[in-house]
Amino acid sequence: MNKDNIIKQSLGNDAKPKSKVPRVTITLLFFLLPVFAISFYQYLEKEAHIERTALIEAFNSAKTEEEKSIVTEEMLAHSEKLQASNPDDADGWLMLTNSYVAIERYPDALRAVENLYRLKSNDPSVIVRYADILSMINNGRFKGKPTELIDEALRLDPTNKNGLWLAGLAAIQRADIKKALQHWQELHSQFDEGSESQLKIKHYIDLARKQIIQPDKEAVSDIALKINIVLSEDLLKKANDNDDVYVYAHAVDGSLMPLAISRIKVSELPTQVTLDDSMALVPSNKLSDHKLIQIIARVSKNANTKSTPGDLIGVLNSVPTNIYLPVKLIIDDIIQ
C-alpha cells in the first residue's frame, strides 16, 4: 500500500477538503515507497469502534467538500476523545498519526506518534514513522534525532524497507553517498525483479552513483542568494511574533521539491536570509543547477510546513541564481 492509497482510504478517493482540512499534497521524497501500512478501515473494522465506522460512512456519503471537512473534523475529535479515555491504545494513536499526516497537521501527528512510540518503543516500524514525522517538522531534514531513530530501527531490523529508504536519504543529506548506496542497494534486493518499487529505487541508486563518478558536482558552489524579508505593514496585525516564517526556493519549471529552505520567526523580521547550495535536500538538485528560480516567504499560521488558507505569503518570480546583490521580498498577500 503506498502513501496515496493510505490517504485515499483515510479521506475518501474524491476528498478535497478545505478550511481546517487542507488539500493533501505530497512534496517530499517520501512518496516513493510505502510508509505505514494501516488505514482507517483496518482499524475501524474492530467491533469496539462501531461509532467511528459510522463516521466513515457519513464521510463517504457527504456530497460537498464542506460536509466532508466537517465529518473529518468530527472523526478526529471523536478519536481524540477516545484516546483521552484510553491513552494506552496503540492502535488509536497509530490511526491518529496517519490521519494527521494525511491532512498535513504535522504538529498533531508528532504528538500522536510520540504517544505511539511511548507504547511501542521497540517496534522498528513505529521508530521509523517517528523519525519520518520529525523530519517533516524539520523541513525534510534528518540531522539529529531523526537519524538516531532510523539507526535504532535498523539495529532492531536491518531489513526494514522504510528504515533503509530513510537511512539512504539521511546519508545523502550529509553527503555520505557510499552509505546511501549501501542502504538503497539492500532495499533494491528486497523488491520483486522489475517491480515498480524496484525501478524507482534503482533510479535513485543511479543518481547517487553519479555523485561518486563526478565528485566535482558535489562541491558547494559560490552561489549564495541574499534575501531581505519584510512583512507588509498592512499584515503586521495578522502575524504573531512566534509564527514560523519559511523562506524557500523552487525551480521555475513547477517542481514542488524545494532547492533550499530556511526557517525563522516573525519576531526576527525584517531580516536578511541567505539560501545556498549547502541547504539542498539532495545534492543532485541544488540552486546552482538552475539559472532562474522562484523565491517564496510564507508565514505559517498553523505551524504547518505546507501552505494553508490564512498563511501570509510573498513571492519573487524568475530570480537569477548568479545575482550577488540582495533582493527584497515583501510578504504582502494572504493565502485564500
Residue 29 reports pLDDT greater than 70: no
Q: Which of 45-49, 157-161, 210-214 has the highest mean pLDDT?
A: 157-161
pLDDT attached to residue 235: 92
> Which among 41-50, 156-165, 276-285 has the top mean pLDDT?
156-165
Over 70: is that where the pLDDT of 39 sits?
no
By percentage, how much of the chain surpasses pLDDT 70?
Answer: 74
pTM equals 0.54
Nearest to 108 by CA among 303, 263, 298: 303
Please classify residue 309 by burial: count the beta carbons closer than 10 Å to its beta carbon, then call 0-12 exposed, 13-18 middle and 19+ buried.
middle
Which of the four pLDDT bands, split at 50, 70 and 90, describes residue 33? Answer: very low
Q: pLDDT tens across 95-120, in order?
A: 888 878 777 788 888 999 999 999 99
Across 231-235, 268-272, 284-288, 295-299, least confident range: 284-288
Angle between helices 145-156 and 161-173 (to 10 degrees): 140
Reported confidence tier of residue 222, pLDDT bands at 50, 70, 90: low
More confident residue, 314 or 70: 314
pLDDT at 95: 82
What is the mean pLDDT of the segment spanning 287-295?
A: 87
pLDDT at 149 over 80: yes
- Using the structure block, give the residue that is written with the C-alpha cell 520529525: 134
Name residue 299's beta-bridge partners.
245, 312
Structure confidence at residue 70 (pLDDT): 74
Asked whether the predicted pLDDT for residue 304 surpasses 80, the reply is no
| The pLDDT of residue 218 is above 70 | no
Mean pLDDT value across the chain: 76
Per the model's pLDDT, the better-predicted residue between 166 and 252 turns out to be 166
Q: What is the mean pLDDT of residues 135-155?
A: 89
Mean pLDDT of 156-163: 94
